[in-house]
A and B are shown apart, each in its own frame.
Chain A
Amino acid sequence: MKPEKIKWGMVIDLDLCIGCQACTVACKQENNIPFVSSDQARMGRAIQWNQFITTVEDPLPHTKVRYLPRLCNHCEHPPCVKVCPVEATYQNPEGLTAQIYTRCIGCRFCTVACPYGARFFNWYEPEWPDEMKSSLNPDVYIRTKGVVEKCTFCVQRIRAAKDKAKDEDRELKDGDVIPACVETCPTKARVFGNLADPHSAVSKLSRSPRALKLLEHLGTEPKVVYLTERTWDESL
Chain B
Amino acid sequence: MSHYNDFPKDDTALINPLMKKSGRWYYFTIACLSAIVAWGLFSWGYQIRNGLGVTGMNSPIFWGIYIANFVFFIGISHAGTLISAILRVTQAEWRKPVTRCAEAITVFALMVGPINVIIDLGRVDRALNIIPFFKYGRFESPLLWDVCCITIYLLSSVTFLYLPLIPDIAMLRDKYTKRRWFYRILSLGWTGSPRQKKVLEKLMAIGTILIIPIAISVHTVVSWVFAMTVQPMWHSTIFGPYFVVGAIFSGIASLIIAMAILRKALHLEEYLKPIHFNYLGLLLLTMCLLWFYFTFAEYLTTFYGAEPEHMAVFYSKLGGEYTYYFIFMILTCFVIPFIFLAPAKLRTITGTVIASIAINIGMWLERFLIVVPTLSRPRLPYEHGIYHPTWVEFSIFAGEVATLCLLYVFFAKLFPIISIWELREKHEDEEVTIKEKAVTTGSYEY
Q: In chain B between 102 and 155, which residues have their CB closer than 8 angstroms to a CB of chain A? A: 117, 120-123, 126-127, 129-130, 135-138, 140-144, 147
Which chain B residues lie closer than 8 Å to A124 at the CB level?
A: 50-51, 53
Task: Name the B residues within 8 Å of A144 (CB-CB).
Answer: 123
Report chain A residues within 8 Å CB of B92: none
Expressed in whole angstroms, the minimum distance between the Cβ of A210 and any Cβ of chain B is 20
Which of A11-19, A107-115, A154-162 forms contacts with chain B? Answer: A107-115
A109 near B231: Cβ-Cβ < 8 Å: no
Count of A-B contacts judged by CB separation below 8 Å: 143
B52 touches A121 (CB 8 A): yes
Q: Does A45 contact B (CB under 8 A)?
A: yes
Instruction: Identify which of residues 183-210 in chain A touch chain B, using a CB-to-CB cut-off of 8 Å.
Output: none
- Is residue A20 within 8 Å, beta carbon to beta carbon, of the partner chain? no
In this assembly, does B63 line the interface, its C-beta being within 8 Å of a C-beta of chain A?
yes
CB A105 to nearest CB in B, in angstroms, measures: 5
CB distance from A58 to the nearest CB of B (A): 14
A64 part of interface (Cβ distance < 8 Å): no
B378 at the interface (CB under 8 A from A): yes
How far does the alpha carbon of A120 sit from the alpha carbon of B231 in the complex, in Å?
17
Partner of A108, one of B62, B127, B137: B62
Q: Which residues of B contact A55 (CB under 8 A)?
A: 381-382
Consensus secondary structure, chain A interface: loop
- Interface residue? B76 (CB, 8 A): no
CA distance A98 to B188 in the complex (A): 53
Contact between A146 and B135 (Cβ–Cβ < 8 Å)? no
Q: How far is the CB of B381 from chain A (nearest CB, A)?
A: 5
Query: Cβ of B122 and Cβ of A53 under 8 Å apart?
Result: no
Complex interface: chain A residues within 8 A of B228 (CB): 82-83
Is B433's CB within 8 Å of the partner chain A?
no
Closest residue of chain B to A51 (Cβ to Cβ) is: B382
Given A107-B120, A123-B53, A124-B51: A113 in contact with B229 (beta carbons within 8 A): yes
Evaluate contact between A107 and B121: CB separation under 8 angstroms. yes
Instruction: Point out the residues of chain B lying under 8 angstroms from A135, CB to CB.
Output: none
With A83-B143, A84-B138, A107-B117 already in contact, the answer to whether A121 and B59 are too (CB < 8 A) is: yes
Q: A109-B143, A218-B230 are in contact. Are A53 and B51 (CB under 8 A)?
A: no
Taking CB as reference atom, which chain B residue is nearest A236?
B381
B225: chain A residues within 8 A (beta carbon): 109
User: Which residue from A104, A106, A112, A236 sits with its C-beta under 8 Å from B52?
Assistant: A106
Tell me which of A70, A84, A146, A234 contacts B122 (CB under 8 A): A146
- A175 at interface, CB cutoff 8 A: no
| A44 CB–B CB distance under 8 Å | yes
Q: Is A137 an interface residue (CB 8 A)?
A: no
Report the contact-size class of chain A (Cβ under 8 Å from the partner): 35 or more
Instruction: Enumerate chain A residues within 8 angstroms of B123, measured Cβ to Cβ.
Output: 104-106, 144, 146-147
Check B141–A117 contact: CB distance below 8 A: no
CB proximity of B370 to chain A, nearest CB, Å? 12
Is there an interface contact between A235 and B53, defined as CB atoms closer than 8 Å?
no
CB of A115 within 8 A of CB of B138, answer no
Bound-state Cα–Cα, A84 to B142, Å: 9
Contact A117:B126 (CB < 8 A) given known A107-B143, A109-B143? no
Least CB separation from A123: chain B residue: B53
Candidates B52, B62, B147; contact of A146 at CB < 8 Å: B52
Contact A108–B122 (Cβ < 8 Å): yes
A85 within 8 A of B: yes
Min CB–CB distance A79 → chain B (angstroms): 6
* Complex CA distance for A125 and B121, rounded to whole angstroms: 15
Interface pair B129/A86, CB less than 8 Å apart: yes
| B380 in contact with A103 (CB, 8 Å) | no
The minimal Cβ–Cβ distance linking A101 to chain B, given in whole angstroms, is 10
- CB-nearest residue of chain B relative to A125? B51
Provide the residues of chain A in CB contact with B60, threshold 8 Å. 44, 111, 117
The verdict on A105 contacting B122 (CB below 8 Å), with A44-B58, A85-B130 known, is: yes
Chain A residues with Cβ under 8 A from B231's Cβ?
Answer: 112-113, 115
Are A105 and B126 in contact, CB atoms less than 8 angstroms apart?
Answer: yes
Q: Are B380 and A116 in contact (CB under 8 A)?
A: yes
Complex interface: chain A residues within 8 A of B378 (CB):
115, 117
Q: How many Å from the CB of B93 to the closest CB on chain A?
A: 44
Q: In the complex, which residues 380-438 of chain B have their Cβ closer than 8 Å to any Cβ of chain A?
A: 380-383, 385-386
Contacting pair B229 A121 (CB below 8 A): no
Interface residues of A in 61-95 (CB under 8 A from B): 68, 70, 79, 82-88
| Chain B residue with the shortest CB-CB distance to A46 | B59
B136 contacts A103, C-beta separation under 8 Å: yes
Q: Which residues from chain A contact B140 at a C-beta distance below 8 Å?
A: 82-83
Tell whether A214 is near chain B: CB-to-CB under 8 Å: yes
Partner of B137, one of A86, A109, A113: A86
Bound form: Cα–Cα A115–B229 in Å: 9
Chain B residues contacting A111 (CB-CB under 8 Å) are 59-60, 62
Interface residues of A in 34-54 (CB under 8 A from B): 40, 43-45, 53-54
Shortest C-beta distance, A165 to chain B (Å), equals 32
In the complex, which residues of chain B have a beta carbon less than 8 angstroms from the beta carbon of A152? none
* Cα(A144)–Cα(B140), bound, Å: 26
- A53 → chain B closest CB, angstroms: 4
In the bound complex, do residue B141 and residue A122 qualify as a contact, i.e. CB atoms below 8 Å apart?
no
Provide the bound-state CA to CA distance between A8 and B129, in Å: 30
Q: How far is the CA of A111 from the CA of B52 in the complex (A)?
A: 15
A-B contacts, 13 of them at CB < 8 A, read A44-B385, A85-B144, A103-B126, A105-B130, A107-B122, A108-B62, A109-B225, A117-B59, A117-B379, A120-B59, A121-B52, A124-B51, A146-B122
Contacts from A to B (Cβ < 8 Å)? 40, 43-45, 53-55, 68, 70, 79, 82-88, 103-109, 111-113, 115-117, 120-125, 144-148, 214-215, 218, 234-236
**4 closest A-B pairs (Cβ-Cβ)?**
A106-B122, A146-B122, A123-B53, A44-B58
